[in-house]
């Protein structure tokens, strides 16, 4: 029986569409409308300013444009998307990878805009997910907090490198330099204290049991220039910590807000989504999942939101987050594709040999394989062939190469040597022996 596959909402054919090829200072706008059994394309340039884009939104409303497509070029698409969306137009953001021009045709900004409009009217573009304005505001706070946290970790690493240069091995005894004991010792070093015994007396809690190791680790050559640089690094770390705390308080405030008017179901769709995303208890419900803390729950809400109607199934959400490989099927062969990079703020660790530490306790032969060698798929001389969906890891080659005996032939089969009945007699000249002449090969 033939299978019936309905088209998605974004795959409908439309009569009046608009496409924008985005650049930094301007954009090329193409509008396609019907006229006397044909379709006409109008192309012109528009500056990337608030006034120009607002005027463009009014023109598109007068023309009755049903769909506007904006290409996601860096961050230059934001002014076009935000202003056109605020004007009431149906705007979709598409990935630049999905709108490549056909090879063999000339490539200009004008032709790219026309090609983008043709794909839009035929419903051949897949829109990207852009959250509503309240979720975008929350996302800005969470992403900046992640960036500042990474920057603070870099300054802690610089401080550790500075202590290593001063022959202070504090990081080898203390778990991290962010503890209260380590911070007091560094502050004392900056203040001028150089006695390792007095520095070790500043230890607190469980660090007091490591006093002998601290005395050895704090015996170095910490001079004045190290103190000046350490003071700068600590001040920068304190500034970043204060900014991270401000962002955290702002994120908690946004997630705890609740408007009673919107909670009853009134208002627009964006207002309802905003009320749903900010109602109390959302973070607590996510933290009930094992492995998700408060910070991770806040990031998930900022990146995905709570409006799950945009993802038909859980598989669509996992596929959008690039957490599963895509399916590649051709004829009887079905294999899994590669997993994309995905959202860097949702991705906790990178997939690879070094990052797969959670499976180190398992036997080597039980781990999944990432790639298969040719002999694993066929293996003509290794017994029966292995199923392509097997779960055994490939065998490792020995560290030392296996020495195989080499058969040395006395005479190569492709070389023919002439047999001389008698060897050449060396000729003597001035009493010295002389070697026979070698034959020149043609």
Token digits of residue 173: 């005894």
Alpha helices in 264-354 (DSSP H): 269-278, 282-287, 294-303, 314-320
Task: Please list the residues that pair with 216 across neighbouring strands.
Answer: none
Rounded-to-integer distance, Cα 349 and Cα 356, Å: 9
- Residue 259: pLDDT over 70: no
Buried (b) or exposed (e) across 348-360, using 16+ Cβ within 10 A? eeeeeeeeeeeee
- Residue 89: pLDDT over 80: yes
Question: What local confidence, expressed as pLDDT, does residue 339 receive?
Answer: 72
Which CA distances in Å does 398 have to 213, 386, 401, 402, 403? Answer: 41, 22, 7, 8, 11
Instruction: State the chain's mean pLDDT as an integer.
Output: 75
Task: Please list the residues that pair with 67 across neighbouring strands.
Answer: 17
CB 13 within 8 A of CB 123: yes
Where residue 353 falls among pLDDT bands split at 50, 70, 90?
very low
Determine which of 72-76, 122-126, 368-372 has the lowest per-residue pLDDT on average: 368-372
Phi-psi region for residue 267, left (φ > 0), alpha (ψ -120 to 50) or beta? left
The residue that leads in pLDDT, 77 or 351, is 77
Rounded-to-integer distance, Cα 99 and Cα 107, Å: 13
Q: What is the pLDDT of residues 392-420, one digit of tens each?
A: 555 555 555 556 666 655 555 555 555 55
Residue for token pair 């023309």: 63
What's the mean pLDDT in 373-398? 50
Question: What local confidence, expressed as pLDDT, does residue 429 receive?
Answer: 53
Residue for token pair 């002439």: 418
Q: What does the CA dihedral 41, 46, 52, 55 come to, rounded to 10 degrees?
A: -10
- Residue 347: pLDDT over 70: no
The H or E element spanning position 86 is helix 78-86
What's the mean pLDDT in 265-272? 51
Rounded-to-integer distance, Cα 289 and Cα 324, Å: 20
- Residue 385: pLDDT over 60: no
The residue that leads in pLDDT, 47 or 112, is 47
Count of residues in the chain? 442
Please return the burial class of 173, using the count of CB atoms within 10 Å of its CB with bins 0-12, 13-18 and 19+.
Answer: buried
Where residue 319 falls among pLDDT bands split at 50, 70, 90?
confident
- Residue 122: pLDDT over 70: yes
């Amino acid at each position: 029986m033939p299978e019936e596959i309905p088209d998605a909402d974004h795959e409908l054919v439309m009569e009046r569409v608009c496409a924008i090829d985005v650049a930094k200072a301007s954009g090329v706008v193409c509008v396609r409308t019907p006229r006397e059994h044909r379709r006409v394309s109008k192309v012109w340039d528009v500056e990337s300013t608030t006034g120009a884009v607002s005027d463009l939104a009014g023109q598109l409303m007068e023309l009755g444009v049903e769909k506007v497509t904006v290409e996601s070029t860096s961050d230059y698409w934001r002014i076009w998307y935000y202003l056109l969306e605020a004007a009431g137009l149906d705007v979709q953001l598409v990935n630049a990878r999905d709108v490549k021009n056909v090879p063999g045709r000339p490539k200009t900004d004008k032709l790219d805009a026309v090609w983008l409009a043709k794909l839009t009217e035929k419903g051949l573009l897949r829109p990207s997910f852009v959250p509503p304005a309240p979720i975008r505001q929350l996302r800005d706070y969470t992403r900046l907090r992640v960036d500042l946290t990474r920057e603070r970790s870099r300054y802690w690493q610089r401080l550790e490198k500075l202590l290593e240069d001063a022959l202070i091995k504090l990081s080898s005894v203390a778990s991290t330099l962010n503890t209260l004991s380590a911070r007091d010792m560094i502050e004392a070093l900056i203040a001028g204290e150089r006695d390792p015994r007095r520095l070790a007396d500043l230890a607190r809690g469980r660090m007091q049991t490591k006093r002998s190791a601290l005395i050895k680790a704090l015996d170095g050559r910490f001079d004045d220039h190290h103190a000046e640089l350490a003071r700068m690094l600590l001040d920068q770390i304190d500034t970043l910590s204060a900014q991270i705390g401000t962002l955290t308080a702002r994120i908690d405030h946004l997630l705890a807000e609740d408007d009673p008017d919107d909670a009853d179901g009134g208002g627009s769709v964006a207002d309802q989504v905003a009320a749903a995303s900010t109602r109390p208890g959302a973070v607590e419900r996510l933290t009930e999942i094992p492995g998700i803390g408060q910070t991770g729950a806040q990031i998930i809400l900022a990146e995905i939101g709570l409006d799950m109607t945009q993802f038909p199934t859980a598989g669509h959400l996992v596929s959008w987050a690039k957490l599963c490989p895509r399916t590649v099927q051709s004829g009887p062969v079905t294999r899994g594709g590669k997993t994309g990079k995905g959202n860097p703020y949702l991705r906790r660790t990178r997939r690879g040999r070094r990052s797969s530490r959670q499976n180190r306790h398992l036997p080597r032969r039980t781990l999944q394989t990432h790639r298969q060698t040719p002999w694993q798929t066929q293996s003509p001389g290794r017994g029966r062939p292995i199923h392509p969906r097997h779960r055994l890891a490939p065998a490792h080659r020995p560290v030392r190469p296996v020495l195989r005996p080499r058969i040395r032939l006395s005479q190569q089969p492709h070389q023919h040597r002439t047999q001389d009945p008698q060897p050449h007699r060396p000729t003597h000249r001035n009493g010295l022996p002389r070697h026979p002449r070698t034959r020149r090969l043609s």
